[in-house]
């Protein structure tokens, strides 16, 4: 087999010899795109079991429940039968409709 003769590089340019591994450069790790987080549900102020427990305790004490009111903060109010809670202005207005 015949060897080919190559011309040497011109003297003005430096000769740079790189190994094959020198060409491999690590890629900076970029974080995966994060999907927007779904809204978390707010904590439940009361559960059905809480209401059942309160009604059972009231019945065992001989209290006749007429109406029940649950506030946003989870406060459970049980009103006696025959005694309704005070009617607010909105309720009075809504009754007129």
Q: For the chain, which residues make up each domain, given as ranges?
A: 44-97
Q: What is residue 81's predicted lDDT score, i.e. its pLDDT?
A: 82
| Listed residue (47, 49, 56) closest to 74, CA to CA | 47
Cα dihedral 64/69/71/75 (nearest 10): 0
In this model, does residue 57 exceed pLDDT 60? yes
In this model, does residue 60 exceed pLDDT 90? yes
Residues 6+ apart with CB under 8 A from 79: 65, 66, 67, 68, 69, 85
In this model, does residue 12 exceed pLDDT 80? no
Asked whether the beta carbons of 78 and 61 are under 8 A apart, the reply is no
Q: What is residue 67's predicted lDDT score, i.e. its pLDDT?
A: 85
In this model, does residue 29 exceed pLDDT 90? no
b (16+ CB within 10 A) / e for 10-46: eeeeeeeeeeeeeeeeeeeeeeeeeeeeeeeeeeeee
Does the global pTM surpass 0.85? Answer: no
| pLDDT, tens digit, 9 for 90 and up, residues 69-86 | 888 888 888 888 876 666
């Amino acid at each position: 087999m015949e060897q080919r003769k190559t011309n040497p590089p011109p003297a003005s340019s430096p000769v740079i010899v790189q190994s094959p591994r020198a060409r491999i450069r690590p890629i900076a790790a970029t974080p995966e795109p994060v999907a927007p987080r779904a809204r978390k549900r707010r904590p439940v102020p009361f559960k059905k079991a809480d209401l059942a427990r309160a009604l059972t305790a009231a019945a065992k004490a001989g209290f006749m429940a007429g109406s029940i009111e649950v506030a946003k903060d989870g406060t459970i109010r049980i009103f006696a039968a025959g005694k309704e809670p005070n009617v607010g202005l909105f309720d009075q207005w809504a009754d007129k409709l």
